[in-house]
């Protein structure tokens, strides 16, 4: 059963259980946001939910990494490096937050993870070059994560995290693209979602403000 089916099966029971928790029992630090719909109706992780237990490869560092399990606040997004529209905006938003965290001395408590759903083309060399083009600092808690195959990408990115993607122009093997959902997640150091940003033009200032508030309340 994938995440979407699981949440649908839980339905109102989850909402009732959440409503019964006191503030002291909460796994989150930020105030509850206004969601677009009931949590069980949204395909991606939302406020108060724990991240799926998923381990992926960091092809640059040649390590296996559990997504969001960094003992630090984590900003997580999903992308592919040949994207020319939404993905650069998602990665740029996180890059700007990373730059601010470095400048203000918050980088030791913050991790950045970007999961590709194009493992056929996004190998270590490609992602290293992409980091250079996007001006992200790989030495400052930034990781590109990669499923082992297109099938694994579907299982992880869509089934576990609710980020739909579909390959287009399959006849052009080198130039194919994807249509896909845009999503950034802010996850606290305990692995619980504080904010979901399902926007194709995310405000990095809003994300930065939320991260700083989270950091202040945790410490």
Which residues are annotated as part of the binding site for Cu cation? 83, 87, 180
CB 196 within 8 A of CB 48: no
Q: Of 219, 163, 162, which Cα lies nearest the Cα of 188? A: 219
Side by side, the strands of the sheet bearing 73-79 are: 142-145, 110-116, 73-79, 184-187, 193-197
What distance in Å separates the CA atoms of residue 80 and residue 53, rounded to the nearest whole number? 22
Annotated binding-site members:
83, 87, 180
**Bridge partners, 187 (sequence order):** 74, 193
Residues 6+ apart with CB under 8 A from 85: 200
Neighbours of 212 (CB within 10 A): 17
């Amino acid at each position: 059963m994938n995440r979407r089916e699981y949440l649908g099966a839980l339905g109102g029971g989850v909402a009732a259980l959440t409503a019964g928790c006191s503030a002291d029992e909460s796994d989150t630090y930020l105030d509850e946001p206004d969601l677009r719909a009931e949590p069980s109706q949204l395909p991606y992780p939302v406020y108060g939910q724990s991240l799926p237990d998923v381990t992926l490869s960091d092809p640059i560092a040649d390590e296996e990494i559990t997504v969001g399990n960094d003992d630090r606040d984590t900003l997580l997004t999903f992308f592919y490096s040949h994207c020319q529209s939404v993905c650069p905006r998602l990665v740029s938003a996180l890059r700007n937050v990373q730059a601010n965290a470095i400048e203000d001395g918050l980088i030791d408590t913050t991790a950045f993870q970007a999961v590709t759903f194009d493992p056929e083309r996004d190998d270590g060399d490609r992602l290293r070059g992409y980091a250079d083009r996007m001006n992200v600092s790989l030495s400052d808690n930034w990781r590109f994560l990669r499923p082992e195959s297109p099938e694994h990408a579907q299982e992880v990115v869509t089934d576990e995290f609710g980020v739909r993607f579909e390959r287009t122009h399959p006849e052009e093997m080198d130039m194919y693209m994807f249509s896909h959902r845009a999503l950034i997640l802010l996850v606290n150091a305990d692995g619980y979602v504080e904010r979901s940003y399902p926007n194709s033009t995310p405000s990095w200032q809003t994300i930065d403000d939320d991260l700083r508030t989270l950091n202040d309340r945790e410490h």
